[in-house]
Amino acid sequence: MNYNKKSVRDIDVSGKKVLLRCDFNVPLKAGVITSDKRIVAAVPTIKYLLEQGAAVIACSHLGKPKNGPDPALSLAVVAKRLSELLGQEVKMAADVVGESATHMAAELKPGEIMLLENTRFEKGETKNDPELVKKLASLAEVYVSDAFGAVHRAHASTAGVAQYLPAVSGFLIEKELGVMGKALANPDRPFVAILGGAKVSDKLNVISNLLEKVDTLIIGGGMAYTFLAAKGCAVGSSLLDNEKIDYCREMMAKAEKNGVKLLLPVDTVVAASFPSPIDGPVDVTTVPADSIPDGMMGLDIGEETRRIFAEAVASAKTVVWNGPMGVFENPVLAAGTIAVAKALAESDAISIVGGGDSAAACEQLGFADRITHISTGGGASLEFLEGKELPGVACLLDR
């Protein structure tokens, strides 16, 4: 996949109407935004477009409305917050491509911004419906994509409109492509990847693709127990993906053939059962990872494993991390994830954290500002690491 795409810096937007796809899929509680990070992240691109004399028609999805428009998932709260952050009014349309949106877009002046209603209020959005695509594209003269969290989906507002409008990236996607694209295409070496999370099946293609690119692959989290079982180790009642044991053997053979060092836990923190509630008290002990007793469940990497993984990170020039090392939501079982986050923060390497739980862990632990790049899209960054073509990136103009 070509990561060298044109950005807003490469085109003239002065006096033009720009359809800007943002990721305003913010968390809400009782109609109140609980984190405005995604709105804040969109501000640099929006300000640049407005300063260049564009008329900005912003759009985004929010949640998963099931049966058309749902007042609880209206973007009106986003328009209000965005107005505060920009210091100017963000006009709010009552629909996506209906009379309100069409009229407001036609009247919009250079230096002004409006926001369309939740794109998923239109059922054709997720189906990349040709009629919806045409209507959306007719609102503007240029398309700017800045919603990295949605580029792995071929929806009307993430990819479809690029059939009709010149399409470039905003600053968020430009950074994602620059940092993650270089890491996969031409990394500074040694290149170390750390994968965690619950299941091997969630990361089948990621593991296989990274074994073509990295010098060291570290496996932690729940998925490690299927690899340990594939080596013939006793894993007790730990999470086990029985159908993927042969796959794990294949991947270990591939690592050996490619000269990739594959690191698995050597010790593990175990308990008699999964903590319930998730953050409740739990009675733990540490045992060798190759001999977990019957009836015990591995829930985090042990102290010796933390040291080995941290050493591998310390020697790296490029590190990519996706997925926690244990049940990090529970303070008793967070030490492995904390150790990895700390190792990345202290490393001189280019450090990249795929979105989702790993990003949340870095932010919660206060390490975010010491990481080179934290991806804004969990699912998109995973597909990036798989080497998949991302529809919302493929549709952008090449440099």
Exposure of 284 by Cβ count < 10 A (0-12 exposed, 13-18 middle, 19+ buried)? middle
Q: Which of 16, 38, 203, 213 is catalytic?
A: 38
Same domain, yes or no: 233 and 285: yes
pLDDT digits (tens, 9 = 90+) for 284-299: 999 999 999 999 999 9
Assess if residue 394 is contained within a domain.
Answer: no
* Of residues 103 and 359, more confidently modeled: 103
Amino acid identity at 125: E
Between 73-82, 118-127, 181-190, the lowest mean confidence (pLDDT) is in 181-190
Same domain, yes or no: 161 and 198: no
Residue 271 contacts residue 283 (beta carbons within 8 Å): yes
Residue 192 contacts residue 164 (beta carbons within 8 Å): no
* Token pair listed for 230: 């594939």
Q: Which of 356, 377, 378, 392 is catalytic?
A: 356
* Of residues 163 and 184, more confidently modeled: 163
pLDDT digits (tens, 9 = 90+) for 221-279: 999 999 999 999 999 999 999 999 999 999 999 999 999 999 999 999 999 999 989 99
Same domain, yes or no: 193 and 312: yes
Last residue of a domain, one of 173, 203, 236: 173
Between 90-99, 126-135, 296-305, 352-361, the lowest mean confidence (pLDDT) is in 352-361
**CATH number of the domain within which 335 lies:** 3.40.50.1260
In this prediction, residue 81 carries a pLDDT of 98
Assess if residue 1 is contained within a domain.
Answer: no
Assess if residue 15 is contained within a domain.
Answer: yes
Residue 130 contacts residue 42 (beta carbons within 8 Å): no
Flag whether pLDDT at 200 surpasses 90. no
Same domain, yes or no: 167 and 191: no
| Whether residue 356 lies in the annotated active site | yes
Hey, how many other C-beta atoms are within 10 angstroms of the C-beta on 379?
15
If pLDDT is split at 50, 70 and 90, which confidence band does 395 have? Answer: very high
Residue 309 contacts residue 218 (beta carbons within 8 Å): yes
**Domain, as residue range, for 49:** 8-173
3-state secondary structure labels for all residues of the chain: CCCCECEHHHCCCCCCEEEEECCCCCCEECCEECCCHHHHHHHHHHHHHHHCCCEEEEECCCCCCCCCCCHHHCCHHHHHHHHHHHCCCEEECCCCCCHHHHHHHHHCCCCCEEECCCHHHCCCCCCCCHHHHHHHHCCCCEEEECCHHHCCCCCCCCCHHHHCCCEEECHHHHHHHHHHHHHHHCCCCCEEEEECCCCHHHHHHHHHHHCCCCCEEEECCCCHHHHHHHCCCEECCCCCCHHHHHHHHHHHHHHHHHCCEEECCCEEEEECCCCCCCCCCCCCEEEECCEECCCCEEEEECHHHHHHHHHHHHCCCEEEEECCCCCCCCHHHCHHHHHHHHHHHHCCCEEEECCHHHHHHHHHCCCHHHCCEECCCHHHHHHHHHCCCCHHHHCCCEC
Same domain, yes or no: 279 and 319: yes
In this prediction, residue 365 carries a pLDDT of 85
pLDDT digits (tens, 9 = 90+) for 357-378: 888 888 888 899 999 998 877 7
Same domain, yes or no: 126 and 226: no
In this prediction, residue 338 carries a pLDDT of 94
Residue 148 contacts residue 377 (beta carbons within 8 Å): yes
Exposure of 193 by Cβ count < 10 A (0-12 exposed, 13-18 middle, 19+ buried)? buried
Amino acid identity at 61: H
Last residue of a domain, one of 126, 143, 173: 173
Assess if residue 349 is contained within a domain.
Answer: yes
Nearest-angstrom CA–CA distance, 34 and 40: 13
Assess if residue 358 is contained within a domain.
Answer: yes
In this prediction, residue 181 carries a pLDDT of 84
CA torsion, ordered 195, 369, 152, 126, to nearest 10 deg? 130
In this prediction, residue 183 carries a pLDDT of 85
Assess if residue 395 is contained within a domain.
Answer: no
Hey, how many other C-beta atoms are within 10 angstroms of the C-beta on 169?
27
Last residue of a domain, one of 149, 173, 197: 173
Q: What is the mean pLDDT of residues 109-118?
A: 98
Q: Which of 231, 379, 387, 388 is catalytic?
A: 379
In this prediction, residue 53 carries a pLDDT of 98
| Whether residue 38 lies in the annotated active site | yes
pTM to 2 decimal places: 0.85
- Total number of domains in the chain: 2
Same domain, yes or no: 45 and 152: yes
Amino acid identity at 76: A
Q: Which of 199, 231, 249, 370 is catalytic?
A: 199
Nearest-angstrom CA–CA distance, 37 and 28: 12
* Of residues 386 and 275, more confidently modeled: 275
| Whether residue 87 lies in the annotated active site | no
DSSP-derived pairing of the beta strands 267-271 and 285-288: antiparallel
Assess if residue 178 is contained within a domain.
Answer: no
Same domain, yes or no: 227 and 358: yes
Assess if residue 79 is contained within a domain.
Answer: yes
Same domain, yes or no: 155 and 273: no
